[in-house]
Copies of this chain bind each other. A is one copy, B any other.
Amino acid sequence: IGPGKGRRGYLRPETAQGMFVNFPRLLRFYREKLPFGAVQIGKSYRNEISPRQGVLRLREFTQAEAEIFIDPTDKTEPRFKDVASSELTLYPASIQEAGEEPIQMRLGEAVAEGTIAHESLAYYINLTYEFLTASGIDPKRLRFRQHRDDEMAHYAADCWDAEAYLDRFGWVELVGIADRTDYDLQAHTRVSGMELGVFKEYEKPKRQKVIKIKPKMNYIGPKFKKRAKQVVKTLEKLSLGEISGETITIEVDGEEIRLGSEAFTIETLIEEISGEKIIPHVVEPSFGLDRIIYTILEHSYREETVEDEVRKVMELPEKIAPIKAAVLPLLTKDELITPAKKIETKLKENGIQTTYDDSGTIGRRYRRNDEIGTPYAITIDYTTLEDETVTIRDRTTMKQIRRPIKEIEYLITRLIRREEKFNVP
């Protein structure tokens, strides 16, 4: 890097560390209260000896990671109660070691019996499950496998991989969700010398005995004159370990001074302490995006026979489909093209990704959109010219409904958000 060949550059093996380095800034952003988190997406690099399996094993891959900083003494999660009844396919280490099959288990139970280490980890396992299935991954081909002792990082308290089943590759890790404890923050603190902790207030301030040295001014003042101020300062700074017996020896301006009980008293005070500095632990869900996209495509794809022809369908969830609606004039005629283009523009203005297609038969255009996962196709036909209605076709069922043009963008928005179902009257 730079001029000449002197300096080596390195590519990061994970996106995570940037977030640890930014810890002081994040702490301030979140106004110094746990728990808080950050997310990062970007390229990471591994020097794979033999990259293979398509996008599954890449030297440059896309990673999305979250770091959730939590209180090490309290790993409960207030929102956990909302997901405790969620039932997932779990594959705990003990069951793997016994050579048995994965089990269905509610997260509440898994935490209660200690299968998953704590609520916070279980909460993010569930969030991962919801993200993956909402993105189009088949829950029946998805499981959460716990790391066995022999594969878990030495610093991790617990770690679960979201694994998906792929036709060609078997079970493949998509996401790792680990409690990495305070390993990273401690490591950065050690190397940088900057303490990466949070001041945690006690619920009630703690009262604590404190022993203090109190200089006697009426003795020190006249005796040390100009140096009196410095003697006092030095005395007050002493730690209790430095007081031995009845006298104290301090150093002021290079001179040793021995002081006895004429110069100070030792007092015992009760102080209120409002909190202490703690090093947060971190729950880290780490997503391999290339693999996730591959899995979404495989799990969403299906073929069926319709009228003696193979229909290829990409059953992408509405939110994930790159194109939400296709606008199709029934025929390539100006009187149909003009209103079709108007509808296309209107949908786009409403933030709905829309494609316009007038090339080929209507059947072929439906199939083309089925294949790329477009959930809805809007067809403009001669009835449109009579009564300002269009048909809307559902990719999954191939059923059609007829609706007024003026309701289209509202309807499509609600369908995409699943606020409304596609109901054939």
* Chain A residues within 8 Å of B, Cβ to Cβ: 1-3, 31, 43, 47-50, 59, 359
Contact = CB atoms under 8 A, between A and B. Distances in A.
Contact of A49 (B3, B43, B47, B50): B3
Given A2-B47, A2-B49, A2-B50, 6 more contacts: A1-B47, A1-B59, A2-B48, A3-B49, A31-B359, A43-B43
A150 to B, nearest CB: 25
Nearest to A59: B1
Contacts of A59: 1
Contacts of A43: 43
Contacts of A2: 47-50
A59 B59 CA distance: 20
Contacts of A1: 47, 59
A50 B4 CA distance: 12
A29 to B, nearest CB: 10
A25 to B, nearest CB: 14
Contacts of A3: 49
A2 B51 CA distance: 9
A412 B279 CA distance: 41
A2 B359 CA distance: 47
A48 B31 CA distance: 37
Listed from nearest, the 7 A-B pairs whose CB atoms lie closest are A3-B49, A2-B49, A1-B47, A43-B43, A31-B359, A1-B59, A2-B47
A359 to B, nearest CB: 7
9 contacts: A1-B47, A1-B59, A2-B47, A2-B48, A2-B49, A2-B50, A3-B49, A31-B359, A43-B43
Nearest to A42: B43
Interface centre among A2, A31, A59 (most CB of B within 10 A): A2
A421 B49 CA distance: 59
A48 B359 CA distance: 49
A59 B1 CA distance: 9
A159 to B, nearest CB: 28
A49 B5 CA distance: 11
Contacts of A31: 359
A77 B6 CA distance: 50
Contacts of A47: 1-2
Nearest to A350: B417
Contacts of A50: 2
Nearest to A9: B59
A14 to B, nearest CB: 16
A49 B47 CA distance: 26
A369 to B, nearest CB: 14
A304 B306 CA distance: 68
Nearest to A4: B49
A183 B2 CA distance: 29
A420 to B, nearest CB: 15
A31 B355 CA distance: 14
A1 B58 CA distance: 12
A372 B43 CA distance: 28
Nearest to A48: B2
A253 B31 CA distance: 87
A357 to B, nearest CB: 10
A402 B106 CA distance: 47
Contacts of A49: 2-3
Contacts of A359: 31
A98 B2 CA distance: 37
A47 B223 CA distance: 67
A47 to B, nearest CB: 7
Nearest to A51: B2
Nearest to A33: B359
A43 B1 CA distance: 16
A50 B3 CA distance: 8
A3 B31 CA distance: 47
A4 to B, nearest CB: 9
